[in-house]
Structure 1
């Protein structure tokens, strides 16, 4: 396990448990307590958790979420691995619609390796990453920038998408639930995703394993509306993600290709 992956797993364990001691983390991760203390200090310095006597606690309840900047450092190593895996699935010459979100920004960083591509983006962050990249013909979908997220939403974004066709829609998601399907926190973001699903020949959803089993506010689509789902291998670990194995099984039964990165 790389240092980055170990930091990501440490953060997940603390977030899920609410509080963990240094000795508990050392046993779960298979490393020394000195290594755990060093990792906890690094995570605290980035504002991702808080050290307490003998262990650590989350900086905020899991359900509170946070805007793009607050989530950017959350599981950065995992999201970069997911971004590389999704980019590898894109054929050169494709027309790609890239959704907003912290994970899809990592997809954007790897898309230049698949050039030439035509890429339409639904976030200002992805536009900044792809601007002036050789071999990338970049389109920024119009619309209103949602405060905190910088995702592009609203009637103008919807009308623009309805006029375009894509080979692949790389979609982020707020939650994936065995019964509820693909769900999103924002009604505006959900509406954009619904149009993207219609306008693309194939949709690939990318999300870290913390989204499995989550029922977010707005339903986007049934599980079967998506062709492939890319998540991290921790989704199969019932200790860190209690709903992960069941959700993955339900996805496969719905005909969704599941890729673990």
Structure 2
């Protein structure tokens, strides 16, 4: 079977089943795991599917939004490694901001070993994790609670952000559109909050795994060149160079 024919059949299989594991596909098509993973990578790059840990699901519309519970099960090791790298950016006495997200949540777990910090967040889940360490000063932004992401958003959160300045903001994102050079997320209110976080920080640091690259969501957050640093797990050299062309410092874990 030729590669293009196999990819068409893989896509048809996933459309029929809505999701598939690498094991399912290797058994069904009688090819190696490396072949299936390569096919899935190419199907994801053409926006037909979205790769998950151990498999793939159909690509969703720009307004589709996963819940925290769904996202926290994906790319766990990658998010933990990104979080450990992010810790090295933090210096004693810093005032930092943690955006709501599963990678920033992993970062909050890594802060227990650090000396006293001032930490701002709009995430209820992150606030609960930070509450376990009494040595840090923690500020939770007010606002309307979004259950999908455990985030506080809206006018109260926006007004609070406009009153403060941050040394370093650690930002999570749903999509990185390299063609337009923009960051995107499914929800307009969250896009506004993320944009303000970037604006209020002296240094903005993007945290995301490779699945967010070339993914487009409904609402624009900011231009890629508004970000100072980007910590990621794995990307092809040409993609890394494309991101760096926007003036972003890229850090591989």
Give distance in 1, aligned partners of 2:21 and 2:208: 17
- Gap change, CA 1:112 and 1:28, over 3 Å in 2: farther
1:226 and 2:223 matched:
no
Change (3 A) 1:102 1:254: same
**Cα distance in 1 for residues equivalent to 2:178 and 2:21:** 20
Task: Please say if 1:257 is aligned against 2:249.
Answer: yes
User: Given that residues 98 and 119 in structure 1 are in contact (C-alpha distance below 8 angstroms), is that contact kept between their aligned partners in structure 2?
Assistant: yes
Q: How far 1:62 sits from its partner (Å)? A: 3.7
Alignment correspondent of 2:186: 185
Q: Hey, what does 2:9 align to over in structure 1? A: none
- TM-score norm. by structure 2 comes to 0.77
Deviation by residue 1:85-144 (Cα, 9 ceiling, x = unmatched): 111211121001100011110011112233221101111111111103143111111111
Secondary structure, aligned partner of 1:21:
helix
Match of 1:72 in 2: 72
| Superimposed CA distance per residue, residues 158-215 of structure 1 (whole angstroms, 9 cap, x where no aligned partner) | 0011111100110011111223311111101100011111111010000000001112
Tell me the equivalent position of 2:25. 20
**1:27-59, Cα deviation, whole Å (9 max, x unpaired):** 469xxxxxxxxxxxxxxxxxx78xxxxxx864x
TM-score, normalising length from structure 1? 0.75
- Structure 2: distance between partners of 1:190 and 1:184: 6
Superposition RMSD in Å: 2.6
Q: Which residue number in structure 1 is paired with residue 124 of structure 2? A: 124
**Closer/same/farther in 2, CA of residues 155 and 20 from structure 1, 3 Å limit:** same
2:215 match: secondary structure: coil
User: Residue 58 of structure 2 aligns with which residue?
Assistant: 61
8 Å CA contact retained: 2:170, 2:206: yes
| 1:57–1:202 distance in 2 versus 1, CA, 3 Å | closer
Question: 1: distance between equivalents of 2:22 and 2:211?
Answer: 13
SS of the residue aligned with 1:128? helix
How much has 1:24 moved relative to structure 2? 4.1
**After alignment, is 246-255 or 170-179 more displaced?**
246-255
What secondary structure, in the 3-state scheme, does the structure 1 residue paired with 2:165 have?
Answer: coil
Change in Cα spacing, 1:154 to 1:163, as seen in structure 2 (3 Å) is same
Aligned equivalents of 2:71, 2:166: Cα separation in 1? 28
Q: How many residues align?
A: 215
Give the 5 Å matches for 1:106-185.
106-180=106-180, 181-185=182-186
